[in-house]
Amino acid sequence: MNALEIIKERYNNSASANDSSKPDIAFIGLGNMGAPMAENLLKAGYKLSVFDLSEAATQRLHQAGARVADSPKDATNNAQVVITMLPAGKHVHSVYLNDDGLLSGLPKGTLVIDSSTIAAADARMVADVANTYGIEFLDAPVSGGTGAAIAGNLTFIVGGSTEAYARAEPILESMGKNIFHAGNNGAGQVAKICNNMLLGILMAGTAEAINLGVKNGLDPKVLSDIMLQSSGRNWTLEVYNPYPKVMNNVPSSNGYKGGFMTKLMNKDLNLAMQTASETKVDIPMGSKAAELYDVHSVQHGDKDFSSIIARHDASIL
């Protein structure tokens, strides 16, 4: 970027920051995913009030131009839109539904977007309470790791009314590339969990297929190429091969650092098990993948989820 472009970009940012047609946003939860998502909203010209328990996180956003709030409630002052990006259902419950939770104090017509990955039943419960207060609630979990959050090309899978979805779409487009409307409240969580359960199955299955070939004398790259061009083709063979050195710029060629951590895949598979159990649905393949990731996460929770291949060959790690 040359100097002129830098100046232009600064001008555009500051111009759009004053764009009164854009709603003010409260952003709560500035972790590895939330912080870059909030930064992308600032870059897109939204006025942001942020809250997180970590001072380092809020400082980072302060420097990027956000107002730092003292509490979730403080962050929502004057906000027409609230976005949360929290670790688990209990945090979402606490922020929205506790005695000093947000829902009871927000003005009617506020749009609430929860991008946390939580159980669909929890998302539906929060949505139901929100609706009784006249607040529009969307579950909008994301797919894509921290790299996608930084680059602003996350995938959002959204559940809620068509009207709320239409309000949210331009905001989500500042943080993501693919925005899907999966259905009514809870449908975003259900679709994400179905996708990630399938991803766990694809990864565990692809890892063991490559290992079976290698243990029977095949070259992992030759076998991967054959399956990629045959009916075994799947996302992991396309962009995320689990076998070391078959593909460049993936965690398997970098000591399984970065990427999507095993403990997060483990969490998603357990959410799938919970959803299946609550709705009396049989998921034998998902349950088997969950079992494998449960065991693998004991020692390797912080490694990328493609490291599941090491259960077949410990020398890989």
Stretch 148-167 residues interacting with its own copies (CB under 8 A): 155, 157
Single out the residue of 150, 312, 316, 317 in contact with its own copies (rule: CB under 8 A): 312
Give me the residue label for tokens 């759009």: 16
Give the whole-angstrom CA distance, residue 239 versus residue 257: 16
- Residue 182 contacts its own copies per CB under 8 A: yes
Nearest to 167 by CA among 196, 188, 138: 138
Measured from the CB of residue 176, what is the shortest distance to its own copies in angstroms? 12
> Does the annotation mark 192 as catalytic?
yes
- Residue 187 contacts its own copies per CB under 8 A: yes
Single out the residue of 180, 243, 256, 293 in contact with its own copies (rule: CB under 8 A): 180
Give the whole-angstrom CA distance, residue 228 versus residue 241: 10
Measured from the CB of residue 88, what is the shortest distance to its own copies in angstroms? 19
Cα separations in angstroms, 215 against 218, 223, 233, 246, 312: 7, 12, 21, 16, 10
- The 251-290 contact track toward its own copies, x by CB under 8 A, reads ---------------------x--xx--x-xxxxxx-xx-
Stretch 23-52 residues interacting with its own copies (CB under 8 A): none
Buried/exposed code over 156-177 (b: 16+ C-beta within 10 A; e: otherwise)? bbbbbbeebbebbeebbebbbe
Q: End-to-end distance of the chain based on CA atoms, in angstroms?
A: 40
Catalytic residue among 22, 47, 192, 303: 192
Give the whole-angstrom CA distance, residue 317 versus residue 274: 31
Residue type, 5: E
Single out the residue of 88, 150, 151, 198 in contact with its own copies (rule: CB under 8 A): 198
From 13-21, 67-75, 225-233, 242-250, span contacting its own copies (CB under 8 A): 225-233
Beta carbon nearer to its own copies, 17 or 218: 218
Give the whole-angstrom CA distance, residue 30 versus residue 22: 21
Phi/psi at 87 (nearest 5 deg)? -70, -35
Chain contacts with its own copies (rule: CB under 8 A): 120, 143, 155, 157, 178, 180, 182-184, 186-187, 190-191, 193-199, 201-202, 204-206, 208-213, 215-219, 222-223, 225-227, 229-235, 238, 240, 272, 275-276, 279, 281-286, 288-289, 291-292, 311-312
- The residues assigned a catalytic role are 192
